[in-house]
Amino acid sequence: MSTLYPPIEPHRSGHLEVAGGHRIWFEVSGNPAGRPVLFLHGGPGSSTKPDHRRYFDPAHYRIVLFDQRGCGLSQPAGSIENNTTAHLVDDIERLRVELGVERWLLFGGSWGSTLALAYAQTHPGRVDRLILRGIFLASHAELDWYFLGLRQFIPEAWSELWSVAPGRPWPELVRWYYANLYGPRADQVAARWSAFETAVMSIGEAQPLAPPASAGPGLLARARVQVHYLAHDCFLRPGQLLDDMPRIAHLPATLLHGRQDFVCPPSTAYDLAACWPQARLTYVEQAKHASSHPVLERELIAAADAARDLERIHT
Give the catalytic positions in this structure.
110, 261, 289
Beta-bridged to residue 23, according to DSSP, are 17, 75
Q: What is the SS3 assignment for 261-312? A: CCCCCHHHHHHHHHCCCCEEEEEECCCCCCCCCHHHHHHHHHHHHHHHHHHH
Q: Is 291 exposed, middle or buried (0-12, 13-18, 19+ CB in 10 A)?
A: buried
Q: Is the dihedral of CA 74, 80, 83, 88 positive or negative?
A: positive
CA 46 to chain CA centroid, nearest Å: 8
Query: Beta-carbon neighbour count of residue 197 at 10 Å?
Result: 19
